[in-house]
Amino acid sequence: MLPKGFLRAVEEIKREEIRGASWCAWRASSALLDLAAGGRLDPQAAENAARLVGEANRSMASLYNVARLFLDAYRAGGAGAAAEAMRMFLDYRSRSSDRIAHVAQEILGSGSAVATISYSSNVEGILKYAGDALARVYVAESRPGGEGVALARSLRSRGIKAVVVPDAAIHTVLVEVDMVLVGADTVTLEPCLINKVGTLPLALAAREARVPVVAVFEAYKIHPKASCNDVELVRRPYLDAPYGMPEVPIFDRIPGRLVSLQVTEYGIERFGSEELRRVYERFLEEVSPTFHRTRSR
């Protein structure tokens, strides 16, 4: 039987609608650390805990990677090794977002205007780092959920000129922006991006307007095995629908041809399969040699 505190964390991840894959990875790895640090963790409990984390949101590769890191470490060295793996991951996570914010400034010139969608903590970090050097940020409302409103509010609290735009009208502001910045919940090696619903029409409109789409994400959001169509798109009721509450997908699949560049903690590169593989390998080497060996079997 797993502790109530751990099960509560899994339920929080399942219900989370705003804070995204980075937050979910933090919540999951923190809960697994607490579980392993307790000392008495039998193999069946470790297997069950990793399974529950991975299944909490199948649209997020970050949960897949956290679960595999935990379980591979446990199999190699027991609860102590699993706890250390989670500590290493949490330290890595805390540094990677700052690294991304710093790296991305290379493509944000003074006076840049940007469009985005949803509430990516990486996009938020990049924009707050740039601060008043930005001319304006257009944020799609991001329904269902309205995460874009929360992002705009956060940016405006830092003096950044953020404007909320209805999802259906976001294409109208693209003539005024230098780039579209989007986060990611999962990235596959094809390449393909999984992000909040509405990202695909935004990327299509950006291509039509000849505006580059830049994806920003940590390496642990790369899924090493799943194809784009393998990733399960979570569906939730659309509560504002006037004729009932149909369940709608809250994620989009964005093919790599619509994404110009990727920004990760390892730099700015073309969004391509070879680049993604290299980034993922560097992540594995940095967080755990054991994880690297077991994932390459």
Task: Output b/e per residue, 59-78; b: 16+ Cβ within 10 A.
Answer: bbbbbbbbbbbbbbbbebee
CB of 23 closer than 8 Å to CB of 66: no
Locate 78 and state its tokens: 């027991």
Q: How much is the pLDDT for 60?
A: 87
Instruction: Identify the segments of the chain with pLDDT beneath 50.
Output: 292-297
Cα–Cα nearest to 239, from 144, 117, 142: 144
Angle made by CA atoms 96, 98, 102, in degrees to the nearest 5: 115
What residues contact 173, with CB distance under 8 A and at least 6 apart?
Answer: 115, 138, 163, 165
Cα–Cα nearest to 101, from 268, 261, 274: 268
Q: How much is the pLDDT for 53?
A: 97
Cα–Cα nearest to 189, from 154, 156, 230, 148: 230
Q: How much is the pLDDT for 15?
A: 84
**Ranges assigned E (strand) in 170-234:** 179-182, 186-188, 192-196, 213-216, 222-223
Helical segments of the chain, H only: 4-15, 20-37, 43-56, 61-104, 121-130, 147-156, 199-209, 273-287, 289-295
What residues contact 123, with CB distance under 8 A and at least 6 apart?
Answer: 116, 151, 181, 182, 183, 216
* CATH superfamily placement of domain 4-94: translation initiation factor eif-2b, domain 1 (1.20.120.420)
Q: How much is the pLDDT for 176?
A: 96
Cα–Cα nearest to 185, from 6, 268, 64: 64
CB of 24 closer than 8 Å to CB of 61: no
Cα–Cα nearest to 216, from 130, 89, 91, 153: 130
Q: How much is the pLDDT for 270?
A: 97
Fold for domain 102-283?
Rossmann fold (3.40.50)
- pTM confidence score: 0.89
Domain ranges of the chain: 4-94, 102-283
